[in-house]
């Protein structure tokens, strides 16, 4: 049996190992809805992304995390052990995800799955992500909706070529329509608690990653 896979009694391949792609906006206008000076909200956004990536790196079954970001932000993510893919081509989330999938596909020669994880999950734990990836291993494609049920924080595919990312307004419905199976993850999970405002961060007080908590206190 190849590393990274196991076979069920029905003979279907079931992925146990994953490459995780995290697109991160590395410019000064990242998370501008946080308010304050551009430098302050950019620093907070970077802290959130670093905490998210660190949780992914600590998740059992994750072979590596590929962060697609700007050249200015690359050193921070490389410094915690992520593989950095410097953004090229058109700016934006769709292009960044496509780059990440391409790079992850090149690395998944042994049949590992590829997950796309958004980088604004400051309360995410390795245990929560690991549980979701365990559930996702049973489906060709799967997804986790945000706490409101309208957006998406994670999509997975056992075969990277089958990914059809549709992030943006109403992405949960779009991903479900594209065939991603909605995973039964609690709305309280850090995997579903993406943040765009300071109020959303306050709601997660006591659960924030170390960097996010420090940056939040410094506002």
pLDDT value of residue 16: 78
Matching residue, tokens 């993510």: 77
Average pLDDT for 96-102: 96
Q: What is the pLDDT of residue 35?
A: 59
Question: 3-state DSSP call for residue 137?
Answer: coil
Give yes or no for a contact between 48 and 119, defined as CB atoms under 8 angstroms apart: yes
Task: Pick from 56-65, 84-93, 194-203 the range whose average pLDDT is largest.
Answer: 56-65
What local confidence, expressed as pLDDT, does residue 26 receive? 66
**Residue 40 has what pLDDT?**
73
**Per-residue tokens: 43:** 């620093």
Residue-wise pLDDT tens digits, 25-40: 865 555 555 655 556 7
Q: Given CA atoms 165, 89, 161, 102 in this order, what sign does their dihedral have? A: negative
- State percent of the chain over pLDDT 70: 87
Is this structure's pTM higher than 0.85?
Answer: yes
Q: Can you give the pLDDT at residue 116?
A: 99
CA distance readout (Å), 117 to 8, 22, 83, 145, 154: 27, 5, 14, 11, 5
* Number of other CB atoms surrounding residue 197 within 10 Å: 12
Domains recognised in the chain with CATH numbers:
15-217 (3.90.550.10)
Residue 98 Cα to chain centre, angstroms: 14
Average pLDDT, the chain: 88
């Amino acid at each position: 049996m190849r590393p990274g896979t196991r076979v069920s009694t029905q003979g279907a391949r079931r992925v146990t190992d994953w490459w995780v792609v995290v697109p991160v906006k590395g410019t000064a206008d990242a998370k501008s809805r946080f308010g304050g000076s551009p430098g302050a909200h950019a620093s907070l956004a970077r802290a959130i992304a670093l905490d998210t990536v660190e949780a992914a790196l600590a998740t059992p079954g994750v072979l590596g995390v590929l962060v697609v970001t700007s050249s200015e932000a690359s050193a921070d993510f490389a410094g915690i052990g992520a593989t950095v893919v410097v953004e090229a081509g058109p700016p934006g989330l769709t292009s960044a995800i496509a780059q990440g999938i391409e790079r992850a596909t090149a690395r998944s020669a042994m049949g590992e799955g590829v997950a796309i994880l958004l980088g604004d999950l400051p309360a995410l734990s390795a245990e929560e992500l690991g549980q979701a990836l365990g559930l996702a291993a049973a489906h060709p494609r799967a997804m986790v909706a945000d706490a409101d049920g309208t957006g998406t924080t994670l999509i997975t595919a056992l075969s990277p070529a089958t990914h059809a990312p549709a992030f943006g307004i109403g992405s949960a419905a779009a991903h479900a329509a594209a065939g991603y199976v909605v995973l039964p993850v609690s709305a309280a999970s850090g995997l579903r608690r993406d943040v765009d405002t300071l109020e959303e961060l306050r709601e997660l007080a006591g659960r924030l990653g170390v960097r996010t908590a420090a940056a939040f206190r410094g506002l």
